[in-house]
Structure 1
Amino acid sequence: MLKKFSNIVSTRLGFTVFLVILFWLKTLYAYFFKFDLDFDNSFQILLAIINPISSALLLIGLALYVKNTKLYYILSMGIYIALTVLLFANSTYFGEFTDFITINTMMATGKVSAGLGESALNLFNLGDLIFIIDFVLIGILMWRKIIRFDQRAFNKRASFAITSLSILAFTVNLFMAEIDRPELLSRGFSNTYVVRYLGLVPFTVYDGINTYKTNQVRKEAKPTDVDEVKTYITANYAKPDPETFGIAKGRNVIYIHLESFQQFLINYKLKVTDPDTKVEKDYEVTPFLNSLFSSKETFAFDNFFHQVKAGKTSDAETLMENSYFGSSQGSFFVSNGGKNTFQAAPDILGQVGGYTSAVFHGNVGSFWNRNETYKHLGYDYFFDQTYFDVDKSNSFQYGLHDKYMFGDSINYLEHLQQPFYTKFITVSNHYPYVQFDGGESGFPLADTKDDTINGYFATANYLDTSVKEFFDYLKSSGVYKNSVIVLYGDHYGISNSRNPDLAELLGKEKETWSNYDNAMLQRVPYMIVVPGMDKGHVDHTYGGEIDNLPTLLHLLGIDNSKYPELGQDLLSPDHRNLLAMRSTDNWVSPTLTSYSGRIYRTDTGEEITNPDPATKNEIDSNNKASEAQLKISDAITTGDLIRFWPNDGLKTIDPNDYSYVKGLKKAKAIEKKLGDKSTSIYSQHGNKSTKDLWKTETYQELHPELETDKSSEASSSSGKK
């Protein structure tokens, strides 16, 4: 038997087929254990089983055309290694992003890898050895001479036959896929669909073609292309509510970016059972944010959804400050942020309201290409990691911890001229939600089989305390009363692939967890705090990050109708009450939810498989509305259409006018030049620093009564609302 096997794999064709089989087996492992391909029927499973074969045979079989023995084996193994790297990289990437690697993501690797550090290691597990153990097997077989080099060149006609066979097999595969999912490639339903029906390699090729087409769109865009955008904006403009329009006019704007923070954390209590006493205790995860959410000074929204895709945090920034979507693939900040023309929030407020704009972020400036994109957005200052004292004691792989970031930012914030438009990007509640040690330890971990979920509540509690301390500073410095503060969650913290393990903590069953539950967990907090106001309430309007800028501008007394913004004022009586997600045909309305190809009733989660005519009309209408918004957004971003936007009073930004080096020196120079006319916090406090107004305490200082030994952290837990 072994001799027969040796005779087969010692031929070039046999060795090629052997590599194809190994890759096929590894791919099936990834399909069924690493990816979530959401199979609906046995036919889809059949397609997934056969689809890796044709592309692997086509690519590895190319080496059969090579006559030279050494070159044949080098080329065939080189192709095999490349395919394995592609498979393994996607397996790792999918675990966190619930998506597949696109060409834009590959091209952006250098931009987004800065600051990742050891976090990538947290995505590896023992099961990933499957992807490399075959190389050990091949090495042993060659060493034992079971695989011997075939010195005979393979017949060219036979090589061509192998190529033709693989192409024919792929054609049949594509035909079968179109039977189950018509217009699979033309409509671009989702990356998951393409991989499920055709395979990972065809998806990568398909994505590469689309990426090329997208780049060509920008080159071919014309000034008249903007007419369709103007028509859409005019037709979908939502006029402001007279009662809220301008109530925050002239105030400072302070964004607090709540990293990876989901809506279910609001008013959530983690129930922990002491292993010794068996006594249960509730731990309120975010007490301060809870108080803000229900405050009369806050417009809070409990049906507010993130709308990001692979660009995650950078997509959220695109949506929040431009009112259009990020890219359908990769990060818009990375692919276009340093190229496109914008009319973003810092630019509008700078030119219309005389605002000074700044971002504070304790990570490296090149992460998500921020150091270039912010110049195009019109930010005057970017205080990145280089402006902070960062060491191992106060940071982790994503940058400076939040308490340090907020506290140290005061050194720069207090020298900015008011009114200012500022954004504070937190990082401590970032995957993988590593447990704090020392004085910040003590908040209990959840008890599930997933360590990512277990640590999520403790890091969210740390973020909550950090925000409270910053609010305390704003109040004691006098800044609070003349500001409007926007707090938002940028995207999910727990990915869909992990959600079933979260189910019990949310009072649900893992076995009955559905895509409806996944859809509802895309909610993130959105709060607009207007100090001194008494009209605050929890609003049940359905909306998303794309609606932030119109809402904010109207509160500041600025009509947004002439700007290229696709969202609507959430406080407007004309708001459409339909939330479109970045993926085609994923949307949520008060009555229906469309997610991952399924339709549900929003209030009950009941799946609708045979809609009546009225429901079918509503589905079609919502599909058209969400697709129209995505289409216009993509036209703006891929065609760089804002460069053609008609004169609306804003001067086009020249990014060369911006530099983020020596920002503090620049701010102090402006203070000195203005003298008594300076409006900075520092000047208003008699040219004295307000840093001493910042007060911070660790978790253990705030909770001296709590037992903080490690045994309490391992206690069993469950959640309740």
Structure 2
Amino acid sequence: MKQYKKILQSPYMILLLFTIKLIIYYGLIDANILDSFIIIVSIITLGIIFIGISRIKFKHKKGLFLIVYSLVSLLMFADSMYYNYYNQTVSIKQLWQAKNVAAVPDSFFATLIPASFLLFLDIPFVYYYFKKHTDDISTKNSWSFKREMKYLIAGLCAIFALLVVNPLDSVAIDKVNSVEFFTNHVNDIYNAVADNIVTEEIPVEEVLEVVEEVAPKEEGMSLQGIGKDKNLILLQVEALQNFVLGAEYNGQILTPNLNSLIGKDSIYFNRYYSTIGKGNTVDAEFATLNSLYPVIDRECYTLYEKNTFYGLPWILREKGYSTLAIHGYEGAFWNREAAYPGQGIEEFYSMEDLDASETIGLGISDKSMFKQAIDILEEEKEPFFSFIITLTSHHPYLLDEEYNTLVLREEDKDTKFGSYLQTIHYMDEALGQFIADLKEKGLYEDTVIAIYGDHHGLNKNMDNNQEKMEEFLGREYDYDEMLRVPLIIHVPGSNVYRTVSTTGGQIDFLPTIANIMGLKIDHPYILGQDLVNAKEGFAAFTAYLFEGSFIHNNVMFEISREGVFEGSRAWDVGTHEELDGSLFEEDYNRTVKIKKTSKEILDRDLIAEYMEDKNSSDHSYEEKYNTDTKSNIEENNYR
């Protein structure tokens, strides 16, 4: 009994409490809590921090320890929340997104896990033990303060140099770096700093060679120009997953209006995937408009706001189109207001420019927004390109009772699954009215309408979504279903009725719509392909799955969080049969290469360089043409 009492009164209780915290933390981020080495590294690191602070000759060292330990707890809490949503721990590069997260508090609170709050419970007890024993610890040791601190700092640096830098390129160390709390975040900071300091530019010719090598290729001219010279309305639907199309729930059709569009004058892409980064909705926009992959660091609209782009809006403007965007939330959200001019969008109607008297959840209701969009489009000079982003079906799917028209089963009420279906059903009603209004205003027949989902609505790792979805679908709910969104391109009067099952993603939209609209893409930095004419499909993933994950035809591959094939998985998306992940190393390398190439294009603003060279070349040609023409005229006049 005395032995236990002695332990309870000793400073070792700090390490014991921290060990319990670690077990909770690693459980929340799905790490192997049986891996004792990871926990030992964490305990040793905290022990060094504890001893180091206890030894310093600083009047407020107890307060310093409390601040450090509280920040450690807060970062663990942030990791658990971030992992719950993104399947990844938080990075220093995402800290800049905090203001965007704060702008959607309902969605933020919906991601909270009650167990995460356990990470804060030990703080007062740890502080009590530190306060009680720190003075004793600092006076008992005979070593000099400077000498001891030198050893402590040297030891800590040695540990992190070995683990973070990983000079031996050890797979075991990579595993530690990807999971262990301290090394994971130090490694993240190290990589962020290294990326800014060490920049190795690849010659433009090599970048173009890589694009030629790894970008998918299509062949053929099927459906080319069937929408030529028509208006184009591009609808990005918030959280629209593919499974709702054609589906019934409780005897009700979930999306009758979307189903009706697919049934006539449409090309429906049923194996289309979200290729977003951590910017979610705006990264879906970015990939769709530019056929470039988003980066994992941050939303592209902020990172590359000053870049030169030559995506869909610019291409259409060169063909005489006016370009506009409509969104029912604040213009500054995700930096849209600042980024859209560089994307080629001339007018942007946000919440500040619209009637915001009817709001649902985050912003203006879809029905109100669509009705106001009709008034705007009616006054727009034709041909026009209108990019419209819906909002009502935004997580956490809040819909007032008066707007509920889907009758939910009792067991689905007050669940994310039921709320999601309710908001998607509402969105479909809004879309149906929008189509009817286009017809009434005489805009429908001469307008191509493209509709796609920006990202998933039901995260398989949150709430009881996986259980509910598997019950609804009657099959496994995995990332292949979670990340699958629809793409519908509706061309009134075309008499086209086709379902394209070639695998693709938002990266492929630009070349696909360019084919249908009869447009020419006049630069080589396009990483997608025209899915109408493609023989095989490929898409790489940025968020929710780790870098190197992809889908190639029927095979989906998820790289392990350590970035090694051990622990990775692959499966057939049709049969859900598990496959040997090690067989797909070639596709994995292709994925890594295409993502690095996309980032290189963005980081170096290579489109600007290309367009500058092209314009100079065109100008030289024009000068030569004008000079030759003038000489010919003068010669003819002389004769």
Q: TM-score, normalised by structure 1?
A: 0.75
Aligned to 2:23: 28
Aligned to 2:309: 342
Aligned to 2:189: 208
Distance in 2, Cα, partners of 1:465 & 1:158:
70
Shift of 1:172: 7.6
Q: Counterpart of 2:371 in 1: which secondary structure?
A: helix
Q: Cα–Cα, structure 1 residues 630 and 151, in superposed 2: closer, same or farther, change >3 Å?
A: closer
Distance in 1, Cα, partners of 2:169 & 2:579:
22
Q: Counterpart of 1:424 in 2: which secondary structure?
A: strand
Shift of 1:589: 2.4
Q: Counterpart of 2:294 in 1: which secondary structure?
A: coil
Distance in 1, Cα, partners of 2:16 & 2:297:
31
Distance in 2, Cα, partners of 1:355 & 1:175:
52
Aligned to 2:260: 291
Preserved contact between residue 523 and residue 607 of structure 2 (Cα < 8 Å)? no
Q: Cα–Cα, structure 1 residues 125 and 109, in superposed 2: closer, same or farther, change >3 Å?
A: closer
Aligned to 2:483: 522
Aligned to 1:590: 553
Aligned to 1:443: 407
Aligned to 2:53: 63
Distance in 1, Cα, partners of 2:411 & 2:551:
32
Aligned to 2:336: 370
Shift of 1:67: 0.8
What letter corresponds to residue 360 of structure 1 in structure 2?
Answer: I
Q: Cα–Cα, structure 1 residues 569 and 216, in superposed 2: closer, same or farther, change >3 Å?
A: farther
Map of 1:422-501 to 2, 5 A cutoff?
422-440=386-404, 442-444=406-408, 447=411, 451-498=415-462, 499-501=465-467
What letter corresponds to residue 437 of structure 2 in structure 1?
Answer: Y
Distance in 2, Cα, partners of 1:245 & 1:493:
33
Aligned to 1:578: 538
Distance in 2, Cα, partners of 1:268 & 1:345:
32
What letter corresponds to residue 391 of structure 2 in structure 1?
Answer: V
1:227 equivalent in alignment to 2:230: no
Aligned to 1:625: 590
Map of 1:365-444 to 2, 5 A cutoff?
365-391=331-357, 394-396=359-361, 398-440=362-404, 442-444=406-408
Preserved contact between residue 588 and residue 602 of structure 1 (Cα < 8 Å)? no
Higher relative contact order (CA 8 A, sep 6+): 1
Q: Cα–Cα, structure 1 residues 163 and 3, in superposed 2: closer, same or farther, change >3 Å?
A: farther
Per-residue CA shift, 1:320-360, capped at 9, x if unaligned? 001011112232223x132322112112211x211111111
Distance in 1, Cα, partners of 2:219 & 2:350:
36
What letter corresponds to residue 601 of structure 2 in structure 1?
Answer: I
Q: Cα–Cα, structure 1 residues 175 and 20, in superposed 2: closer, same or farther, change >3 Å?
A: farther
Preserved contact between residue 445 and residue 458 of structure 1 (Cα < 8 Å)? no
Distance in 1, Cα, partners of 2:355 & 2:133:
57
1:4 equivalent in alignment to 2:3: no
Distance in 2, Cα, partners of 1:440 & 1:621:
49
Q: Cα–Cα, structure 1 residues 234 and 121, in superposed 2: closer, same or farther, change >3 Å?
A: closer
Q: Cα–Cα, structure 1 residues 453 and 24, in superposed 2: closer, same or farther, change >3 Å?
A: farther
Distance in 2, Cα, partners of 1:238 & 1:151:
67
Preserved contact between residue 90 and residue 101 of structure 1 (Cα < 8 Å)? yes
Q: Cα–Cα, structure 1 residues 626 and 402, in superposed 2: closer, same or farther, change >3 Å?
A: same
Map of 1:596-635 to 2, 5 A cutoff?
596=559, 597-609=568-580, 616=583, 619-635=584-600
Preserved contact between residue 272 and residue 504 of structure 2 (Cα < 8 Å)? yes
Distance in 2, Cα, partners of 1:77 & 1:599:
45
Match of 2:509 among 548, 551, 556: 548
Shift of 1:20: 4.7
Q: Cα–Cα, structure 1 residues 476 and 446, in superposed 2: closer, same or farther, change >3 Å?
A: farther
Preserved contact between residue 113 and residue 367 of structure 1 (Cα < 8 Å)? no
1:311 equivalent in alignment to 2:279: yes
Shift of 1:313: 0.8
Preserved contact between residue 27 and residue 87 of structure 1 (Cα < 8 Å)? no
Preserved contact between residue 393 and residue 423 of structure 2 (Cα < 8 Å)? yes
What letter corresponds to residue 506 of structure 2 in structure 1?
Answer: E
Preserved contact between residue 252 and residue 406 of structure 2 (Cα < 8 Å)? no
Q: Cα–Cα, structure 1 residues 638 and 477, in superposed 2: closer, same or farther, change >3 Å?
A: same
What letter corresponds to residue 25 of structure 1 in structure 2?
Answer: I
Preserved contact between residue 519 and residue 595 of structure 1 (Cα < 8 Å)? no
What letter corresponds to residue 622 of structure 1 in structure 2?
Answer: D
Shift of 1:202: 2.2
Aligned to 2:624: none
Shift of 1:520: 3.2
Aligned to 1:98: 87
Q: Cα–Cα, structure 1 residues 83 and 148, in superposed 2: closer, same or farther, change >3 Å?
A: closer
What letter corresponds to residue 123 of structure 2 in structure 1?
Answer: F
Per-residue CA shift, 1:66-97, capped at 9, x if unaligned? 212x3211211111111111111222222222
Shift of 1:542: 0.6
Per-residue CA shift, 1:117-150, capped at 9, x if unaligned? 34322233532331222234457779xx967865
Distance in 2, Cα, partners of 1:301 & 1:345:
19
Shift of 1:381: 0.9
**Segment drifting more, 234-243 vs 589-598:** 234-243
Match of 2:237 among 240, 244, 258: 258
Aligned to 1:557: 518
Aligned to 1:84: 73
Distance in 1, Cα, partners of 2:198 & 2:447:
41
Aligned to 2:64: 75
1:116 equivalent in alignment to 2:104: yes
Distance in 2, Cα, partners of 1:519 & 1:87:
29
Distance in 2, Cα, partners of 1:508 & 1:175:
46
**Segment drifting more, 249-258 vs 558-567:** 558-567
Q: Cα–Cα, structure 1 residues 174 and 646, in superposed 2: closer, same or farther, change >3 Å?
A: closer
Q: Counterpart of 1:487 in 2: which secondary structure?
A: strand
What letter corresponds to residue 357 of structure 1 in structure 2?
Answer: T
Shift of 1:447: 2.8
Distance in 1, Cα, partners of 2:108 & 2:167:
34
Per-residue CA shift, 1:377-413, capped at 9, x if unaligned? 121011111012325x5232x2112111111223333
Distance in 1, Cα, partners of 2:290 & 2:455:
17
Q: Cα–Cα, structure 1 residues 590 and 471, in superposed 2: closer, same or farther, change >3 Å?
A: same
What letter corresponds to residue 97 of structure 2 in structure 1?
Answer: A
What letter corresponds to residue 295 of structure 2 in structure 1?
Answer: S
Shift of 1:165: 4.9
Preserved contact between residue 114 and residue 367 of structure 1 (Cα < 8 Å)? no
Q: Counterpart of 1:527 in 2: which secondary structure?
A: strand
Q: Counterpart of 1:538 in 2: which secondary structure?
A: strand
Distance in 1, Cα, partners of 2:395 & 2:442:
35
